Chain A
Amino acid sequence: MISKEEILKIAKLAKLQLNENEVEKFFSQIKSILSYVKKLDEVDTSNVIPTFHPISDTKNRFQVDDSSRTFKLEDVLKNAKNTKNNHVATKGVFK
């Protein structure tokens, strides 16, 4: 099954910082959940198409190109922790 190394790798992918205690605790809980869902291997799905969407009456819905409905800039920035020059400010990704 899943290993502690994999847990740390996934945490990194999901941008979650886990401490030692959390890794321990989650490791056993996650293992038990994953072993439960392994049940699905019992089902023969050889000729079955997956269902990603339960209702089929929606297909390729495009939004009308209408610029009248928009948010004011101040509203858009209202909940950002850091803003600068009418932009959301964040840590640089380039060194």
Chain B
Amino acid sequence: MIADIISKLKNKEISALELTKSYLNKIESENPDINAFITVTNDSAIKEASNVDDLISKSENLDELFSKMPLLGIPLAHKDIFSTKDVKTTAASKILEDYIPVYDATVVSKLKSSGGISLGKLNCDAFAHGATGENSDFGPTKNPYDKSRVAGGSSSGTGAAVASEMVVFATGTDTGGSLRNPASFTNTVAIKPTYGRVSRYGIFAMSSSLDSIGHITTSAEDSALVLSQTAGFDPFDATTSKHPVENYLENIGADIKGKKIGIVKEYLSDEIDSEILEKTKSAINIYEKLGAEIIDISLPNSEYALASYYVITLSEVSSNLARFDGIRFGFDRDKFGDEAKRRIMIGTYALSAGFYDEFYVKAQKVRTLIIQDFKKAFEKVDAILAPVSPVMPPKIGEVVDDPMKNYLMDILTVPVNLAGLPALSLPCGFSSKGLPVGIQLIGDHFSEKNLYNLGYNFERISK
């Protein structure tokens, strides 16, 4: 989609202003129902789009201009946990209802430098806690494919906005599945990059050893292009990697004959919705058709991943939310929603004297075993194929009163975060009720180029 838009902008078939206005109009007509946006920045978007048209009209070498700014004129939006200078950033929580950052997150400024035009801030579960979007203090985001159902979470607005064409792409975070889950529920593509591949600076920390910064697009190619702009070492984030950023678009369509795809027996249990299993099997068939070799593998410690994840994430969350003191910014802590309070409570307990070894250290030891399982698997395969969600998108209200039910939705996504691995989630068709189903490709650390190659080929056949 991005390449088509860029070509129209270069040929002057459309102006950046016309383009941005058409997306703003879509937001105006769809958002009151879908509730993907918390803040829409009409005026600044229009101003930026006019500036883009100015740049384009004055340019003597459009190819050179677009090569320096590969996202020039492209409408996007940011999950509302990304700091955006002078634009209200709420984390979808009443605690930060009036918070206005005085600086941009690194990813926000990178996408600005690439020429992207932000249309506003997207709804999500408050502080990114959740798998359905229902923990937002500003109302849930509806699934564009069935408005009685959730859009997934925690990057609910991110998925819904891209799916309903309110933006071309949108940013989000994935700590336990928060990009892959909404993408699979909204028929879109999500990348959860390797931990440390994209800077977390300026993005509200949820779980510091698990948070991964990514985005949702409508194609693998668009995803690769956006990652090429956001990836890289950042001196402001000490956990970013100096591993070189590959050219993700180069040879993205190359043949995948002979590539080895692993199928994890523990991930295909009968606890997973039968239609999702069916769709996963059809994805396996597609890869066979493309010439890949399918290899059965086992990740023996899989059943402990969710428990390990939740102890670690709740502990790290309790620590990261300690900064919300109502003194330097934000409102008093009694404005935290239920889920935030629950997480803080359990995390504090797990880290407290007498329980730290029993819970937190134990969980981190199990984490080591889970990572070892993956490392062994990647000696045999180039990527792992798996479903994303064990359930179809629930109806709004269905899981909101049962935290454990909500947590169990992450069962297929959290192992990836524990190990810091990259994963690409792709649309894989629809259920008998017309609901989207997604699959994910999991790779070894820094193998995003390989994932995009596999994903691009998959799309060619499945679309």
Within 8 Å CB of A71, what residues of B?
Answer: 102-103
Binds A, one of B74-82, B238-246, B253-261, B287-295: B238-246
Are the CB atoms of A14 and B318 closer together than 8 Å?
A: yes
Are the CB atoms of A32 and B404 closer together than 8 Å?
A: yes
Whether a CB of chain B sits under 8 angstroms from the CB of A45 is: yes
Are the CB atoms of A90 and B327 closer together than 8 Å?
A: yes
Interface string of B295-339 (1 = CB under 8 A from A): 000000101101110110000001000100111111101101010
Which residue of A6, A29, A52, A82 is within 8 Å of B209 (Cβ)?
A52
Interface residue ranges of B93-142 to A (CB < 8 Å): 98-100, 102-103
Whether a CB of chain B sits under 8 angstroms from the CB of A65 is: no
Minimum distance in angstroms from A39 CB to a CB of chain B: 5
Are the CB atoms of A43 and B195 closer together than 8 Å?
A: no
Within 8 Å CB of A75, what residues of B?
Answer: 102-103
Whether a CB of chain B sits under 8 angstroms from the CB of A20 is: no
Which residue of A30, A48, A80 is within 8 Å of B369 (Cβ)?
A48
Which residue of B328, B346, B362, B365 is within 8 Å of A80 (Cβ)?
B328
Question: What count of chain B residues pass the 8 Å CB interface test?
Answer: 64
**Given the interface contacts A37-B311, A79-B329, does A58 sit within 8 Å of B196 by beta carbon?**
yes
**Given the interface contacts A50-B368, A51-B368, does A22 sit within 8 Å of B341 by beta carbon?**
yes
Within 8 Å CB of B303, what residues of A?
Answer: 39
**Given the interface contacts A51-B367, A54-B418, does A80 sit within 8 Å of B341 by beta carbon?**
no
Are the CB atoms of A13 and B348 closer together than 8 Å?
A: yes
Interface string of A32-47 (1 = CB under 8 A from B): 1110111111110100
Whether a CB of chain A sits under 8 angstroms from the CB of B420 is: yes
Are the CB atoms of B100 and A55 closer together than 8 Å?
A: no
Are the CB atoms of A40 and B307 closer together than 8 Å?
A: yes
Minimum distance in angstroms from B96 CB to a CB of chain A: 9
**Given the interface contacts A16-B341, A57-B241, does A40 sit within 8 Å of B420 by beta carbon?**
no
Are the CB atoms of A16 and B344 closer together than 8 Å?
A: yes
Whether a CB of chain B sits under 8 angstroms from the CB of A4 is: no
Interface residue ranges of A59-95 to B (CB < 8 Å): 61, 63-64, 71, 75-76, 78-82, 88, 90
Q: Measured between alpha carbons, how far is A42 from B366 in the docked complex, in Å?
A: 10
Are the CB atoms of B304 and A52 closer together than 8 Å?
A: no
Q: Measured between alpha carbons, how far is A54 from B368 in the docked complex, in Å?
A: 9
Interface residue ranges of B363-420 to A (CB < 8 Å): 363-369, 371, 403-404, 407, 418-420
Whether a CB of chain A sits under 8 angstroms from the CB of B23 is: no
Taking beta carbons and an 8 Å cutoff, which residues of A are in contact with B?
Answer: 2, 6-7, 10-11, 13-18, 22, 25-26, 29-30, 32-34, 36-43, 45, 48-55, 57-58, 61, 63-64, 71, 75-76, 78-82, 88, 90
Taking beta carbons and an 8 Å cutoff, which residues of B are in contact with A?
Answer: 98-100, 102-103, 194-196, 209-210, 235, 238-243, 301, 303-304, 306-308, 310-311, 318, 322, 325-331, 333-334, 336, 338, 341-342, 344-346, 348-349, 352, 359, 361-369, 371, 403-404, 407, 418-420, 445
Given A29-B342, A37-B307, 8 additional A-B pairs, CB 8 A: A6-B349, A10-B349, A16-B336, A16-B341, A33-B342, A48-B365, A55-B241, A71-B102
